[in-house]
């Protein structure tokens, strides 16, 4: 478990946060830039881009695509910065193996990379908090806990792999509210995929997440699981494409789009 972080600058503008990450700050981004949409990053060579886009289309709950770059482009319509430097941390994957975790991906970037930005459940955490539903990992100053499940995704081309979920403990009498609030954000994972027993997802121990940090589950609380944008990283690990760059889990791209864009009335 990591130590609690200092409180993130909740009211920072996206460009300001990105400048700090570009300058070398390495931190999970949960709680940063309230109201601005954060995104998972997956960059792959152009010849794998169709498989990634089709994998996302077939698995919209874990992989809601927010934007796709032109091949080789380092900025996107939703991110007026440089995707090679403006996230707090990146992972470089060769043949499905994690070969490097870096603050700056410039040296690893390739001219043929297509960058996908995929919605993140941090988008609905503000709405949960506003509804009075606790968001434990933010309260505890930790990264959200994420778990590889035994549920398969729907394969696409060369990509296959397990569903990854994030978990938030919710008091039993607020589970319905958590479902109701997050259902309104179908473009950023939407409603939970599972409520309750972790074992049904093949999760042996909530205190040992595969990514992120464990959080306290208190008496009377139910673990609630949402599809997670780290799913493509597990697909990369399982499918072993020659090359990919992703964000480090929890260390997201902060975009120039408002969370409010993704709410269904």
d(CA 94, CA 99): 7
Q: How far is the CB of 204 from a copy of itself (least distance, A)?
A: 31
Q: Which is nearer to a copy of itself, 75 or 140 (CB)?
A: 75
Q: How far is the CB of 59 from a copy of itself (least distance, A)?
A: 12
Q: How many CB atoms lie within 10 A of CB 107?
A: 9
Q: How far is the CB of 236 from a copy of itself (least distance, A)?
A: 19
Please, are residues 41 and 249 in contact by the beta-carbon 8 Å criterion? no
Q: Which is nearer to a copy of itself, 197 or 261 (CB)?
A: 261
Chain position carrying tokens 């960058």? 115
Q: Which is nearer to a copy of itself, 90 or 185 (CB)?
A: 185
Q: Which is nearer to a copy of itself, 68 or 201 (CB)?
A: 68
Q: How many CB atoms lie within 10 A of CB 95?
A: 11
Q: Which is nearer to a copy of itself, 30 or 115 (CB)?
A: 115
Q: Which is nearer to a copy of itself, 66 or 146 (CB)?
A: 66
d(CA 63, CA 186): 11
Q: How far is the CB of 161 from a copy of itself (least distance, A)?
A: 18
* Residues found near a copy of itself in the complex (CB under 8 A): 49-50, 53-54, 57-58, 65, 68, 180, 183-184, 186-187, 191, 264-265
Q: How far is the CB of 112 from a copy of itself (least distance, A)?
A: 13
Q: How far is the CB of 12 from a copy of itself (least distance, A)?
A: 29
């Amino acid at each position: 478990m990591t130590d609690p972080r200092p409180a993130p600058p909740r009211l920072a503008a996206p460009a300001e946060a990105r400048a700090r990450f570009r300058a070398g700050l390495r931190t999970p981004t949960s709680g940063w830039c309230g109201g601005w949409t954060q995104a998972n990053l997956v960059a792959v060579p152009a010849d794998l881009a169709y498989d990634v886009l089709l994998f996302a289309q077939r698995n919209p709950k874990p992989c809601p695509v927010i934007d796709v770059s032109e091949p080789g482009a380092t900025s996107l319509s939703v991110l007026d910065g440089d995707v090679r430097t403006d996230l707090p941390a990146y992972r470089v994957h060769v043949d499905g193996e994690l070969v490097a975790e870096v603050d700056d991906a410039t040296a690893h970037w390739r001219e043929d990379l297509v960058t996908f930005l995929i919605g993140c459940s941090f988008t609905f955490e503000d709405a949960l908090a506003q509804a009075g539903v606790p968001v434990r990992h933010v309260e505890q100053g930790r990264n959200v806990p994420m778990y590889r499940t035994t549920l398969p995704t729907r394969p696409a081309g060369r990509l296959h792999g397990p569903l990854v979920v994030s978990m938030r403990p919710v008091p039993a009498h607020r589970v319905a509210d958590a479902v109701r609030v997050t259902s309104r954000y179908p473009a950023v994972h939407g409603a939970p995929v599972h409520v309750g027993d972790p074992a049904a997802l093949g999760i042996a121990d909530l205190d040992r997440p595969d990514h992120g940090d464990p959080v306290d589950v208190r008496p009377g609380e139910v673990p609630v699981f949402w599809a997670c944008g780290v799913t493509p990283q597990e697909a990369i690990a399982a499918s072993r494409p020659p090359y990919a760059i992703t964000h480090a889990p929890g260390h997201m791209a902060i975009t120039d789009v408002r969370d409010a864009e993704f709410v269904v009335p």
